[in-house]
Amino acid sequence: MVPLKRRKVVSSFADTSGDEVPAKFPLVVLFLLERKMGASRRVFLCQLARKKGFQVEDTFSESVTHVISENNSGEEVRTWLDSHDRGQTPVHLLDISWFTESMKAGRPVQVLDRHKLQEQLVDETEVEVFSVPSYACQRRTTLDNHNNVLAHALSLLAENAELEDEDGRGVAFRRAAAVLKALPKPVTSMMQLRGLPCLGDHCLRVIKDILETGTSSEVEATKQSERYKALKVLTGIFGVGAKTAARWIRDGIHTLQQLRDSGHTLNRAQQAGLEHYEDLHQQVTKAEADTIGEIVERAVVSVLPGAQVVLTGGFRRGKLTGHDVDFLITHPVEGREEGLMPKVVSWLESQGFLLYQKTTRNSYLESNDGPARPASNIDRFERCLSIFKLIKEDKHETKQLGKLSENGLETPEDTCSSLTHVQTDPNPATPSCAKGQIHSGEDTGHRLWRAVRVDLVVSPISQFAFALLGWTGSKLFERELRRWAGYEKAMSLSSHALYDNNQSRYLRATSEEEIFAHLGLEYIPPSERNA
């Protein structure tokens, strides 16, 4: 019979090799900062210090007396301490040289000036420290913000995280960028950011690099990354998400031409997105959005007199350009909107305005978990995702591809003659000029029309205020509204309704102002929701 081996109890100061080493210097407690040092090197140095009899903490605490860092400035380490609410803790901020000399001597050597990290002396009374609320839905953020460079850098890192299907990291960067957008003045010192919400160590490091050098090495490396470039191009195709793009990259596809040559089977949305890629990547102007709005309103009113059409999205928030155009449609009489979308789509198709469309029905009342608590943030309204054919205004050309008449767009039969067919949907729901084609490099500069992404959404009047709020954005502002409702008010907010979980009832609202009032928030107009 083999006797059981007695388990050896190892103190927090023991060498990881198993040799018991008592703490020889109880008044000295070390913490090694991993930033720029690296995890593996930090582990090695911690083991070395414990073997020499030093007390080393794995996490920063009030008992720490000496903070050791490598290749960091005093301000960087102080910023790190501030982010962990330890900025006022009296500790020695020391360079790795003090640690090396102490290990060689086998005891803590005297702290000299050359060991200390140099901190820039700033008169805190002359520095304006910013303060903003924690939730983006509590802050007013206009398009004219004072920290575009910093916010853009964090937004790019957020985009990269989202392209890599890392939504959590993406949201963290978006929240940090939103804080910077809301500040009343430009950031000139890291001290101004002390105590601000949503600014973690990673974001603070990026901000500091830009303030000190004018750029961030991480941001620049991301911009130059071949994978980032490929993901950006491929997900820029209408109908292509991050997972599909990542799969194509694994297959060696990095460009549009490689995709065209690959023989991959594309669904209708992806075919249309690739065909009209160049057009869809041009910014849509407010004037173009208004022109499309006039056409959509004509279509809606022609099939349902008295119906209302509202331009939403970024244009409602005051933007002058955008990537697509969103319209919310309703009727003052509840129920009259039922069956409206197919008629509107049919009218637009008959007039030659739609190059692609996919319509989904309203599934709001079919949810098993209750209409106020959807399984995802995507609403369940009846909607039409489309690619719209918009006639360009050309003052130098007298010849027009088609003309807008009282009945709509009159288009010559040979409009699509220059497009190359590679795949055809056997049951198309689009005009013949959009059936399964992939753009073959046609010069779009000489066409008198362009493709524009347009979304149409139909809402009952009882849900219109919630739909208008949800479809106005920004995306982060809406996310923060839902988070505020859940965590602060025990409510469930969606683009359909507001549900009070404590009282088990829906709260009615006929305007956005009423929704904000239910949530206990100051009303913020659309032009100040650009978080």
Tell me the two tokens of residue 9: 């109890």
Give the residue, 240 or 128, on which the prediction is more confident: 240
pLDDT band at residue 120 under the 50/70/90 scheme: low
pLDDT band at residue 106 under the 50/70/90 scheme: very high
Q: How many angstroms separate the CA atoms of 358 and 348, rounded? A: 13
* Predicted local confidence at residue 119, as pLDDT: 64
**Percent of the chain topping pLDDT 70:** 80
Phi, psi of 409 (to 5 degrees): -100, 120
Phi, psi of 322 (to 5 degrees): -165, 175
Q: Is 443 annotated as a binding residue?
A: no
Read off the pLDDT of residues 387-408 as tens digits, 9 standing for 90 and up: 999 998 754 433 333 344 444 4
Q: How many angstroms separate the CA atoms of 325 and 293, rounded? A: 9
* Predicted local confidence at residue 91, as pLDDT: 83
Give the residue, 480 or 26, on which the prediction is more confident: 480
Report the range of poorest mean pLDDT among 67-76, 112-121, 174-183.
Answer: 112-121
Tell me the two tokens of residue 154: 């964090």
Q: How many angstroms separate the CA atoms of 52 and 396, rounded? A: 83
Read off the pLDDT of residues 431-440 as tens digits, 9 standing for 90 and up: 333 333 334 4
Please work out, in degrees rounded to the nearest 5, the angle formed at the alpha carbon of residue 501 by the alpha carbons of 497 and 507: 35
Read off the pLDDT of residues 294-337 as tens digits, 9 standing for 90 and up: 999 999 999 999 999 999 999 999 999 999 999 999 999 999 99
* Catalytic residue ranges: 324, 326, 455
Tell me the two tokens of residue 142: 């206009």
Q: Is 326 annotated as a binding residue?
A: yes
* Predicted local confidence at residue 11, as pLDDT: 39
The rounded Cα 472 to chain-centroid distance in angstroms is 16
**199-224 mean pLDDT:** 94
* Predicted local confidence at residue 9, as pLDDT: 38
Residue 494: which of 481, 509, 508, 513 has the closest Cα?
481
* Predicted local confidence at residue 278, as pLDDT: 97
pLDDT at 422 over 60: no
* Predicted local confidence at residue 380, as pLDDT: 85
**183-212 mean pLDDT:** 92
Phi, psi of 157 (to 5 degrees): -65, -35
* Predicted local confidence at residue 318, as pLDDT: 97
Read off the pLDDT of residues 446-481 as tens digits, 9 standing for 90 and up: 789 999 999 999 999 999 999 999 999 999 999 999
Residue 457: which of 330, 303, 276 has the closest Cα?
330
pLDDT at 485 over 70: yes
Domains and CATH numbers, the chain: 25-115 (3.40.50.10190), 136-224 (1.10.150.110), 226-281 (1.10.150.20), 284-365+379-391+450-528 (3.30.460.10)
* Predicted local confidence at residue 427, as pLDDT: 37
Q: State the amino acid at position 2 in one-letter form.
A: V
* DSSP codes, 436-447: SB------GGG-
Residue 54: which of 102, 101, 17, 97 has the closest Cα?
102
* Predicted local confidence at residue 66, as pLDDT: 93
The rounded Cα 208 to chain-centroid distance in angstroms is 22
Residue 372: which of 471, 501, 475 has the closest Cα?
501
Tell me the two tokens of residue 401: 């591809």
SS3 74: helix
Q: Is 113 annotated as a binding residue?
A: no
Residue 232: which of 240, 451, 167 has the closest Cα?
240
